Amino acid sequence: MKQCPICATQYPDDAKFCPRDGATLVSAAGATSDPLIGQTLAGRYEILSKLGEGGMGSVYRARHRLLGRVDAVKMLRPDAANAEAARRFLREAKLAASINHPNAVVIHDFGEAESGVAFLAMEYIPGQPLSKLLQKQGPLPPAQAVAVARQIAAALDAAHQLGVVHRDLKPDNIMVMDGDRVKVVDFGIAKAMGGKESVVPMTQVGLVVGTPQYMSPEQALGEPLDARSDVYSLALVTYEMLVGASPFLGDSMQAQMVARISEPPRPMRVAAPHIAVPPAIEAVVRQALAQAPAHRPASAGAFATQLEKALSAADGAQPRPSSAQSAAPTQYQVATLATGGARSPADTQPSPASAQANVFRPPPAFATPPSVAPTRPMPAAQPAPAPGGSKSGLWLIGGLLGIGGIAALGLAVGLAFYVFSAPPGGGLTNGGGGSSLVKAERAAALRRSRSLREAGDYAGALRLIEERLAADPFAPELRIEKAEVLFEKERFVESEDIVRDVLKTHPDYGPAHQSLGVLKYRQGKEDEAIAGQMRCLELDPEPEYVCYAHAALAQIYANQYFSNRRKFAARFEQAELEARAALAAATRKSLEAGPRLTLARLFVDRKQYALAREQTDKILRDGAVWKARDRASVYAQVAVIAFLEKRYAEAAEAAEQASQLDPKNEDYRKLSDITRRYRVRGKTKGQGAS
């Protein structure tokens, strides 16, 4: 038998390399014999047995001769004991010893042995590596996986606050004890990110250190790292805990590294078809696996918080940090996603918000000014063949199927939503402030402003908010309300200035990050738009904000996919997952309209017309939208679906509805003309019944 010198996994004699670590295998018999066993190290550590071997050294079980304490002692390998390696190893010990957290291994001692070889002594952990647990047990239940991830994240956050990046997070470096208590070990190739500890860097840019299977893209490329690299590695570990497989395929470690740099992660239902992971949880993991660090959660703790909220939604439980109950995807929803959307979860209703919340948070307007829609031309999707169809008619149908005509609807999820979503009474957990009377007056002003905006009186809404701001100038919700009004008046520069001012005084106010993201999307800055929505999610907002951000991400990803199907192929899955997550977090029917329309567009692209129809029917049946322009968008989508099903009479009626509801929309008028012509032709050929 042969054995991996790093993870101690045994293999047949004909094996050469460990597929987990890429290390050259050694004889299992030779690996068990070690001349240090029975010796005393530095006059105080009696070496009892060998526990394992890593890239820089070996780990032994040892007893402190004076204290009687059993420790794990790590020694630098003799063949690596040059001056630079020793300095790096002792730096490891100093940095690791500075991390004081219940979920991080405790460093008791470090120094040099009699032979000059550097060593460090750490607490001995009676448990097993997470890798062994997964080998024995297989994938973990979501609740157990999230609990383990939370503890890992806590240890990483403690290290990151000291400027230390782990750089080698993997299941082998995560010890699981009784009761699923977790210790993160081997900060051995951690690197100081700043301050005095970075004067003598442990690694140079371009030097790749770590385990290839769990490296972030930037680490694989030898680029500078920060905490988000560890977030990526934690997401890889979490993915493996949930499905028992890697999100990236490859015949070798190098192939997997290339995949992480160039490909999106596999959907969990593809990696493990027999396991149904709640879609909201998968969406959080996929975000943390973004290739660009800016698109990931900014901290390990933020990632863990998102996982916990997604788990709470999946379990139907109330998220601990939130003040309102979040809706949970049912088992039927989970099965739907796992089977590729065989049916639509149209019957699942979110839990309603409280009566007071419904009064203060009325259903939002969905329509967004045309200038918000992407300005670049979008390629037309190919509709089903129709008798006697003109090319111009098919182009219009295809454009509506993708983005044209109805695309602007979705981004109301971003900017038009958040303004109506402050907690009842106007209080905020991060800066609302003020007496009860001030909060009540603030809430009343916001309600009145909303009513004026619903009536199209933006000038009146602006006057009202400015009057209230004169007496309450620092309230972030009032300032964001003013930014929203200015946005609707297409005074975008002023709107953005206000949002940025809010972020200066309230940097952790989620709605401001979300609205800035929408403003950036209007400017064509998609990466910043995505980052704004994700930052909002990281700030642990209440369920409605969770819904808004997921819905906005779904819309942005869908628009990217329809703009260039080849370049943004992965966005299809991401858009669907984000839309599902938004539905899971929705607290009332009105919040479902945006994500359901996104799902309808995706289902149409997949030619799953019945599923698309369920989404639009649900919106209309629930009365989720009531403004004429918003209902017009829904009817336009109904017309597209009916047209592609060759139900021309129904398509013509729906298109006519859209045109009447929004007579200024030229696309709806053209759509009505085209579907009416098809209806007439269908009748002449006996195909008029739909």
Cβ distance 10 to 1 under 8 Å?
A: yes
What is the C-alpha to C-alpha distance for residues 476 and 433, in angstroms, rounded to an integer? 10
Residue-level pLDDT at 114: 80
Least confident piece of the model among 25-34, 155-164, 250-259, 629-638: 25-34
Q: For residue 119, what are the contacts with CB-CB under 8 A and spacing of at least 6?
A: 41, 42, 45, 73, 74, 75, 76, 110, 111, 112, 113
- CA 249 to the chain's CA centroid: 21
Residue-level pLDDT at 454: 66
Q: For residue 608, what are the contacts with CB-CB under 8 A and spacing of at least 6?
A: 341
Q: Which residue type is seen at 686?
A: G
Instruction: Identify whether residues 223 and 286 lie together within a single domain.
Output: yes
Instruction: Identify whether residues 57 and 173 lie together within a single domain.
Output: no
Helix (H, G, I), strand (E, B) or coil at 222: coil
Instruction: Identify whether residues 303 and 232 lie together within a single domain.
Output: yes
Closest C-alpha to 401, from 607, 604, 606? 604
Residue 86 burial (CB count, 10 A): 16
pLDDT category at 413 given cuts 50, 70, 90 is: very low
Q: Which residue type is seen at 182?
A: V
Would residue 186 show up in a list of annotated catalytic residues for this protein? Answer: no
Residue 135, domain member (yes or no): yes
Residue 203, domain member (yes or no): yes
Most confident of 403-417, 540-554, 624-638: 624-638
Domain stops at, among 276, 298, 315: 315
Question: pLDDT higher for 78 or 41?
Answer: 41
Mean pLDDT within 529-541: 86
pLDDT category at 385 given cuts 50, 70, 90 is: very low
Cα maximum dimension of the chain: 101
List % helix, strand, coil for the chain (3-state, nearest 5).
55, 10, 35
Helix (H, G, I), strand (E, B) or coil at 420: coil
Question: Which residue segment(s) compose the domain that 231 sits in?
Answer: 128-315
Q: For residue 517, what are the contacts with CB-CB under 8 A and spacing of at least 6?
A: 414, 528, 529, 530, 531, 532, 533, 535, 536, 552
Mean pLDDT within 171-200: 67
Sequence-distant contacts of 523-526: CB under 8 A, at least 24 apart: 524/374, 524/375, 524/376, 526/556, 526/560
Question: pLDDT higher for 430 or 627?
Answer: 627
- CA 354 to the chain's CA centroid: 28
Q: Which residue type is seen at 193?
A: M
Phi and psi at residue 544, to the nearest 5°: -65, -40
Phi and psi at residue 125, to the nearest 5°: -105, 115
What is the C-alpha to C-alpha distance for residues 163 and 454, in angstroms, rounded to an integer? 49
Mean pLDDT within 13-30: 64
Q: For residue 518, what are the contacts with CB-CB under 8 A and spacing of at least 6?
A: 372, 411, 414, 415, 529, 532, 552
Domain stops at, among 315, 345, 374: 315
Instruction: Identify whether residues 221 and 238 lie together within a single domain.
Output: yes
Instruction: Identify whether residues 90 and 191 lie together within a single domain.
Output: no
What is the C-alpha to C-alpha distance for residues 658 and 629, in angstroms, rounded to an integer? 8
Instruction: Identify whether residues 162 and 295 lie together within a single domain.
Output: yes
Q: Does residue 453 surpass a pLDDT of 90? A: no
Q: What is the DSSP string of 16-70?
A: -B-TTT-PBPEEHHHHH--TTTT-EETTTEEEEEEEEE-SSEEEEEEEETTT--E
Residue-level pLDDT at 440: 85
What the block records as the tokens of 339 is 């089977």
DSSP designation for 474 = T
Task: Kindly report the pTM of this predicted structure.
Answer: 0.52
Report the chain's mean pLDDT, rounded to a whole number: 75
Residue-level pLDDT at 184: 94
Instruction: Identify whether residues 163 and 274 lie together within a single domain.
Output: yes
Instruction: Decide: residue 195, CB within 10 A, 0-12 exposed, 13-18 middle, 19+ buried.
Output: exposed
Phi and psi at residue 24, to the nearest 5°: -70, 130
Helix (H, G, I), strand (E, B) or coil at 400: helix
What is the C-alpha to C-alpha distance for residues 278 and 463, in angstroms, rounded to an integer? 46
Residue-level pLDDT at 24: 60
Instruction: Decide: residue 315, CB within 10 A, 0-12 exposed, 13-18 middle, 19+ buried.
Output: middle
CATH number of the domain where residue 81 is located = 3.30.200.20
Quote the percentage of the chain above a pLDDT of 70: 72
pLDDT category at 203 given cuts 50, 70, 90 is: very low
What is the C-alpha to C-alpha distance for residues 112 and 131, in angstroms, rounded to an integer? 31
Question: pLDDT higher for 527 or 29?
Answer: 527
Q: Which residue type is seen at 682?
A: G
Residue 636 burial (CB count, 10 A): 28
Give strand pairing partners of 216: none
What is the C-alpha to C-alpha distance for residues 577 and 142, in angstroms, rounded to an integer? 17
Crossing angle of helices 628-644/648-661, nearest 10°?
160
In which residue are the tokens 């909201």 written? Answer: 280
660 to 510, 642, 666: CA distances (angstroms): 38, 18, 11
Mean pLDDT within 535-557: 84
Q: Does residue 395 surpass a pLDDT of 80? A: no
Question: pLDDT higher for 324 or 110?
Answer: 110
pLDDT category at 81 given cuts 50, 70, 90 is: low
Q: Does residue 317 surpass a pLDDT of 50? A: no
Residue 616, domain member (yes or no): no
**Sheet of strand 26-27, all strands in order from the earlier edge strand to the far edge:** 10-11, 2-3, 26-27
Residue-level pLDDT at 379: 30
What is the C-alpha to C-alpha distance for residues 351 and 354, in angstroms, rounded to an integer? 9
Helix (H, G, I), strand (E, B) or coil at 451: helix
Residue 180, domain member (yes or no): yes
Least confident piece of the model among 21-35, 459-473, 591-605: 21-35
Residue 288, domain member (yes or no): yes
Interval 456-480: pLDDT, tens: 788 999 999 999 999 888 899 899 8
Interval 606-657: pLDDT, tens: 899 999 999 999 999 888 887 788 889 899 999 999 999 989 999 999 999 9
Interval 120-176: pLDDT, tens: 898 888 889 999 999 999 999 999 999 999 999 999 999 998 888 888 899 989 999
Residue 35 burial (CB count, 10 A): 7
Instruction: Identify whether residues 255 and 284 lie together within a single domain.
Output: yes
Instruction: Identify whether residues 52 and 180 lie together within a single domain.
Output: no
Instruction: Identify whether residues 140 and 265 lie together within a single domain.
Output: yes
| The one catalytic residue among 21, 71, 157, 168 | 168
DSSP designation for 260 = H
Residue 51, domain member (yes or no): yes
Residue-level pLDDT at 197: 34
Least confident piece of the model among 6-20, 28-42, 453-467: 6-20
The total of structural domains in the chain comes to 2
Question: pLDDT higher for 525 or 255?
Answer: 525
Kind plus residue range of the DSSP H or E element containing 287: helix 279-288
Instruction: Identify whether residues 142 and 75 lie together within a single domain.
Output: no
Mean pLDDT within 18-33: 60
Instruction: Identify whether residues 220 and 88 lie together within a single domain.
Output: no
Domain stops at, among 275, 300, 315: 315
Mean pLDDT within 240-260: 83
CATH number of the domain where residue 202 is located = 1.10.510.10
What the block records as the tokens of 441 is 């007056």
Cβ distance 48 to 27 under 8 Å?
A: no
Residue 185, domain member (yes or no): yes
Q: For residue 14, what are the contacts with CB-CB under 8 A and spacing of at least 6?
A: none
Helix (H, G, I), strand (E, B) or coil at 183: strand
Residue 208, domain member (yes or no): yes
Cβ distance 200 to 272 under 8 Å?
A: no
pLDDT category at 684 given cuts 50, 70, 90 is: low
What is the C-alpha to C-alpha distance for residues 520 and 514, in angstroms, rounded to an integer? 10
Least confident piece of the model among 94-103, 149-158, 210-219, 677-686: 677-686
Interval 270-309: pLDDT, tens: 999 899 999 999 999 999 999 999 899 999 999 999 999 9
Residue-level pLDDT at 138: 92
